[in-house]
Amino acid sequence: MKIAFLADPLSGFKIYKDSTFAMMREAVRRGHRIHVFEQRHLVLDEGVVTAEATEIRLTGDADDWYEEGDTDIVPLSAFDAVLQRKDPPFDMEYVYGTYLLELAERQGARVINKPSAIRDHNEKLTIAEFSQFTSPTLVSSSGTRLRAFHAEHGDVIFKPLDGMGGAGIFRVKDDGLNLGSIIETLTENGARTIMAQKYIPAIVKGDKRVLVIDGKPVPFSLARIPQAGEVRGNLAAGGTGVAQPLSERDREIAESLGPALAARGLLLVGLDVIGDFLTEVNVTSPTCFQEITDQTGFDVAAMFIDAVEKRVTGN
């Protein structure tokens, strides 16, 4: 197969932990040819969505880990699969990319995850569809409503709807210290909608990333344990990743959401679970493949490429 990866610049990859690299390595191991391009390389020309894509070869070297081959401008439909692996921020430029990819689908391209499904599933707001698994949650731009939510629950997490890597997350305890300033800053004085969630004490045991591939959960999660004095477990915020078997509740959540999300074109989903509660549904570029594989021996990338091959061949 010819697989194209829409990704951020390869020069920024940390291949010892990068999930996209793990996908590439497994695809190459199976004999597939891989190509890469960035979102800026997408072009709509005379009605056809093309990309300036470069074929690469993996060298096996830790530093100079790839060699570039030919670069060609080709329709996305020329690839057997196009894997959307661009990281957030999920800004309007990202949205424009999903429009182009969706048009490419109509021209025969097979894009994973499905562009319209990425666009329609905000990683924070999607939990509202599955409120039976969530802690008390409020989404609002109203300072009055957000203050009332804090008054009711006493210990609250406030976060933007478009953040990543733990950026912009604040905890306000029952003393209300800096409550007004935090609400004003995050909402830009009522101009932006944010999320408030009742604080979940189980965060001290980790913010668990539960990967779901083609509707089926990976049997291990990665618990991202916050540093001392932190409420954010994100690896980007300094959390420590500890792989562990799924709990009964983890599996219940994954098996409830997985088939529905897969049917919408979300082949790969990263559920965030704290304690017994679903907190986010990650659909843009879910990670933690290598951490789970390195610690447990379960080959997450192999499970993912199996699913891609199944989508392509139908077998």
Rounded distance, CA 1 to CA 112, Å?
15
- Residue 282 bears catalytic tag: yes
For 264, the 3-state DSSP assignment is coil
- The residue from 25, 159, 198, 208 that is catalytic is 159
Active-site residue flag, 14: no
Is residue 228 exposed (0-12), middle (13-18) or buried (19+ Cβ within 10 Å)?
exposed
Query: Would you call 86 a catalytic residue per the annotation?
Result: no
Which residue among the candidates 124, 208, 214, 250 is catalytic per the annotation? 124
Set 26, 38, 80, 272: catalytic member: 272
Angle at 289 between CA 160 and CA 195, to 5 degrees: 15
Residue 251 a catalytic site member: no
Q: Is 208 a catalytic residue?
A: no
Is 122 annotated as catalytic? no
The two tokens of residue 252 are 């219940």
d(CA 71, CA 94): 23
For residues 187 and 149, what is the distance between their CA atoms, to the nearest angstrom? 15
- Residue of 85, 110, 114, 209 marked catalytic: 209
Hey, what's the torsion of the CAs at 61, 63, 65, 67, to 10 degrees? Answer: -110
Cβ pair 86, 97 in contact under 8 A: yes
Residue 309 is a catalytic residue = no
Active site residue 189: no
- Please tell me the distance from the alpha carbon of residue 156 to that of residue 170, in angstroms, as a whole number: 8
Q: Which of 113, 122, 234, 282 is catalytic?
A: 282
Residue identified by tokens 């070297």 is: 61
Token couple for 32: 């597939």
DSSP E strand boundaries for the chain: 2-6, 33-37, 42-45, 48-58, 66-75, 81-84, 111-112, 137-140, 156-160, 170-172, 194-198, 207-213, 216-217, 220-225, 240-245, 268-274, 277-282
Q: Are 211 and 218 in contact (CB under 8 A)?
A: yes
Catalytic residue among 224, 234, 250, 309: 224
Which residues participate in catalysis according to the annotation?
A: 124, 159, 209, 224, 232, 272, 280, 282
